Amino acid sequence: MIPFLRKPISRVTKSKVREAGKVRNVIVILRPPNIIAFRTKGCRTEYQITADVGYWMGVRAHTLAESKEKKRVKKRGI
């Protein structure tokens, strides 16, 4: 049996962002069945994405970083 997420799990990260005039920690929340939510500590506004969208955003960021590195190496002539 695969253990599925049954209740929300939240964790405070070390990442900090400026929100509502203060520097605040980012909180990540995993919600059933496949929602990833982000909010800042001390604020109620949440920004949600689905796990599959998060995956594709990660793939796109990785691909973009790889192409930038290849261009940089090619430009230096290494």
Q: Is the pLDDT of residue 78 over 80?
A: no
What local confidence, expressed as pLDDT, does residue 68 receive? 92
- Calculate mean pLDDT across residues 15-37: 96
Backbone angles phi, psi at 55, to 5 degrees: -60, -50
Show me where the domains of the chain are located. 9-76
Q: Is the pLDDT of residue 77 over 90?
A: no
- Calculate mean pLDDT across residues 16-26: 96
CA pair distance 19, 73, nearest whole angstrom: 37
Question: Which residue, 53, 55, 26, is CA-closest to 38?
Answer: 26
CA pair distance 9, 49, nearest whole angstrom: 15
Q: Is the pLDDT of residue 15 over 90?
A: yes
Backbone angles phi, psi at 41, to 5 degrees: -65, 130
Tell me the pLDDT band of 76, cut-offs 50, 70 and 90: confident
